[in-house]
Structure 1
Amino acid sequence: MSLHKLTGTLCPIGPFEFNHALRFLAKFRPMMGQQTIEDEGLTKAFYVDGKIALFNVKSVGTPDAPEMRYSIWSEEKLTADEQKKAEDEITFFLSLSDDLRPFYQLAETDPQFMPVVGKLYGYHQVKFSLTAFENACWAILSQRNQWSIALAMKVRMAETFGSSIKVDGETHLAFPLASQLADLEADQLNEVVRNTRKTECLLSAAKAFATVDESWLREAPYEQAESWLLEIKGIGAWSASFVLLRGLGRMDHVPLDEKALLEATKRVYGRDDLTHADVQKLGEHYGEFAGYWAHYVRVAG
Structure 2
Amino acid sequence: MATEATALHLTDVRLPAREPFDFRASLGFIGSFPAMAGQQGTAQAALTLAVREAGTTLGVRLTAAPGAPGLDARLAAEQPIGPETVAAVTDRIDFYLGLSDDLTAFYRLARQDEPFARVVERLHGYHQVKFPSPFELLCWAILCQRVPMPVARQMKRALVEAVGNRIDVGGERLWAFPDVEQLARFEEAELAALIGNQRKAGYLHRSVRLWAELDEGFLRTGPYQEVREQLLKLHGIGEWSASFLLIRGLGRMERIVLDKEMARAVQRVYGHPVDEAQFQRLAEHYGPWQGYWGHYLRVGG
Q: Normalising by the residue count of structure 2, what TM-score does the alignment of the two structures yield?
A: 0.95
Say if 1:133 and 1:205, in contact at 8 Å, map to a contact too. Answer: no
Q: Which residue of the partner structure matches residue 299 of structure 1?
A: 299
Does residue 263 in structure 1 map to residue 268 in structure 2?
Answer: no
2:162 counterpart letter in structure 1: T
Match of 1:211 among 206, 210, 213: 213
Q: Which residue of the partner structure matches residue 46 of structure 1?
A: 51
Give the superposition deviation at 1:178: 1.7
User: Measured at CA, do residues 162 and 288 of structure 1 come closer, stay the same or move farther in structure 2, by a change above 3 Å?
Assistant: farther
Say if 2:256 and 2:290, in contact at 8 Å, map to a contact too. Answer: yes
Q: Which residue of the partner structure matches residue 201 of structure 2?
A: 199
4+ long deviations beyond 6 Å: none
Identity, in percent, stands at: 41
Q: Any idea what SS the aligned residue of 1:187 has?
A: helix
Q: Which residue of the partner structure matches residue 278 of structure 2?
A: 278
Q: Which residue of the partner structure matches residue 236 of structure 1?
A: 238
Q: Any idea what SS the aligned residue of 1:112 has?
A: helix
Which stretch shifts more, 233-242 or 162-171? 162-171
Give the superposition deviation at 1:266: 0.5
2:216 counterpart letter in structure 1: E
Q: Which has the higher contact order (CA 8 A, sep 6+)?
A: 2
Q: Which residue of the partner structure matches residue 142 of structure 2?
A: 140
Match of 1:12 among 17, 35, 51: 17
Q: Which residue of the partner structure matches residue 3 of structure 2?
A: none
Give the superposition deviation at 1:60: 2.7
Q: Which residue of the partner structure matches residue 172 of structure 1?
A: 174
Give the superposition deviation at 1:48: 2.2
Does residue 83 in structure 1 map to residue 86 in structure 2?
Answer: yes
Does residue 184 in structure 1 map to residue 189 in structure 2?
Answer: no
Following the alignment from structure 1 to structure 2, what is the Cα–Cα distance between the partners of residues 258 and 233? 21
User: Measured at CA, do residues 202 and 171 of structure 1 come closer, stay the same or move farther in structure 2, by a change above 3 Å?
Assistant: same
2:256 counterpart letter in structure 1: V
Following the alignment from structure 2 to structure 1, what is the Cα–Cα distance between the partners of residues 141 and 129? 17
Give the superposition deviation at 1:276: 2.7
Does residue 109 in structure 1 map to residue 112 in structure 2?
Answer: yes
- Structure 1 unaligned spans of 5+: none
Give the superposition deviation at 1:205: 1.7
RMSD: 1.3
Q: Which residue of the partner structure matches residue 290 of structure 2?
A: 290
Q: Any idea what SS the aligned residue of 1:36 has?
A: coil
- Structure 2 unaligned spans of 5+: 1-5
Q: Any idea what SS the aligned residue of 1:145 has?
A: coil
Q: Any idea what SS the aligned residue of 1:84 has?
A: helix
**CA displacement 1:55-86 (0-9 Å, x = unmatched):** 11111347xx5131110001121222321222
Following the alignment from structure 2 to structure 1, what is the Cα–Cα distance between the partners of residues 162 and 53? 20
Q: Any idea what SS the aligned residue of 1:166 has?
A: strand
Say if 1:262 and 1:276, in contact at 8 Å, map to a contact too. Answer: no
Q: Any idea what SS the aligned residue of 2:114 has?
A: coil
Following the alignment from structure 1 to structure 2, what is the Cα–Cα distance between the partners of residues 25 and 186? 32
Q: Any idea what SS the aligned residue of 1:45 has?
A: strand
Q: Normalising by the residue count of structure 1, what TM-score does the alignment of the two structures yield?
A: 0.95
1:232 counterpart letter in structure 2: L
Give the superposition deviation at 1:151: 1.3
Report how many residues are paired: 296
Following the alignment from structure 1 to structure 2, what is the Cα–Cα distance between the partners of residues 297 and 203? 34
Say if 2:253 and 2:291, in contact at 8 Å, map to a contact too. Answer: yes
Say if 1:162 and 1:177, in contact at 8 Å, map to a contact too. Answer: no
